């Protein structure tokens, strides 16, 4: 129970001050010095009477404080109850959400199993080989597929990432807000790569019909005489980000690779992203 001197201002209770030096305690049974100095004809204070009354006042103040706290706590609990849930959302005093909310995912499917074999066969020209599967806990999974059969070279990369609540995220810090921040950053970096980045600017197009929001980006890389077209599709579904990147070697500095259709790359990347996003429902 908090001490009187630390009561909050809203309790509107007068502070309890320590008794003056020389005043008797409740248990010593002695008459306070100022009471002994009173005339014999006046009323005498019972031994320890002032201390007893002070203790009673202190108890009343504590009871009032307890009642106020119970009412306030009840109001807070009612305010954070979410419709359709069995308990309150976990929030901090400044309004940050610290738990997963309805519709948000804590785990993602295995990326290597997220794309049907028929989809890969239909949208990749050749026999794809699965390479470098990556599972980062239960919240992120990635997988690669490659085709290296001249004149065709393709690299398909799929990443699924479920974001958790984060106090550094914008807004209320929820898992969805963290994913929105990641989605926005990915789009900005493709539109306008950082100055120290070697990536070219992308042509970004907003997509509809996938997740809560989605976009595609087209880039052309030129390195050492080789030209590579890259199609990227990013989809956000609640707190999960689906990223598909499809590389096609349009012209090689060695061997006989290329050419590649940028439109076909973008169409295939969108098909893969759509299939991967469907596994989240």
Per-residue model confidence as pLDDT tens digits over 111-162: 999 999 999 999 998 899 998 677 778 999 999 999 999 999 999 999 999 9
Q: Which fold has domain 111-278?
A: Protein Transport Mog1p; Chain A (3.40.1000)
Task: Note the maximum CA span of the chain.
Answer: 122
For residue 148, give every residue at least 6 positions away whose Cβ sits within 8 Å of its Cβ, in sequence order, or none: none
Cα separation, 54 vs 59, in Å, equals 9
Confidence of residue 254 (pLDDT cuts 50, 70, 90): confident
Q: Residue 10: pLDDT band by 50, 70, 90 thresholds?
A: very low
Tell me how long the chain is. 281
The 8-class DSSP code of residue 243 comes to E
Instruction: State the Cα–Cα distance between residues 273 and 234, nearest whole angstrom.
Output: 8
User: Does the global pTM surpass 0.75?
Assistant: no
């Amino acid at each position: 129970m908090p001490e009187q001197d630390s009561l909050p201002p809203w309790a509107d209770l007068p502070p309890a001050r320590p008794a003056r030096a020389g005043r008797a305690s409740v248990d010593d049974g002695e008459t306070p010095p100022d009471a002994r100095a009173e005339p014999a004809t006046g009323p005498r204070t019972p031994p320890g009477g002032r201390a007893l009354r002070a203790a009673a006042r202190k108890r009343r103040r504590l009871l009032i404080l307890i009642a106020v706290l119970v009412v306030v706590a009840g109001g807070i609990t009612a305010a954070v109850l979410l419709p359709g849930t069995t308990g309150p959302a976990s929030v901090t005093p400044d309004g940050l959400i610290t738990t997963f909310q309805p519709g948000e995912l804590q785990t993602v499917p295995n990326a290597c199993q997220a794309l049907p074999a028929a989809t890969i066969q239909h949208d990749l020209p050749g026999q794809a080989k699965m390479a470098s599967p990556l599972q980062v806990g239960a919240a992120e999974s990635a997988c690669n597929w490659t085709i290296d059969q001249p004149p065709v070279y393709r690299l398909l990369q799929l990443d699924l990432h479920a974001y958790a609540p984060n106090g550094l995220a914008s807004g209320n810090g929820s898992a969805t807000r963290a994913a929105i921040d990641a989605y926005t950053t990915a789009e900005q970096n493709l539109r306008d790569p950082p100055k120290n980045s070697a990536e070219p600017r992308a042509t970004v197009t907003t997509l509809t019909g996938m997740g809560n929001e989605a976009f595609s980006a087209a880039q052309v890389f030129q390195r050492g005489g080789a030209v590579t077209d890259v199609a990227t599709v990013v989809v956000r579904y609640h707190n999960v980000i689906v990223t598909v990147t499809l590389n096609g070697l349009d012209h090689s500095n060695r061997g006989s690779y290329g050419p590649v259709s940028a439109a076909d790359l973008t169409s295939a990347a969108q098909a893969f992203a759509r299939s991967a996003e469907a596994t989240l429902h």
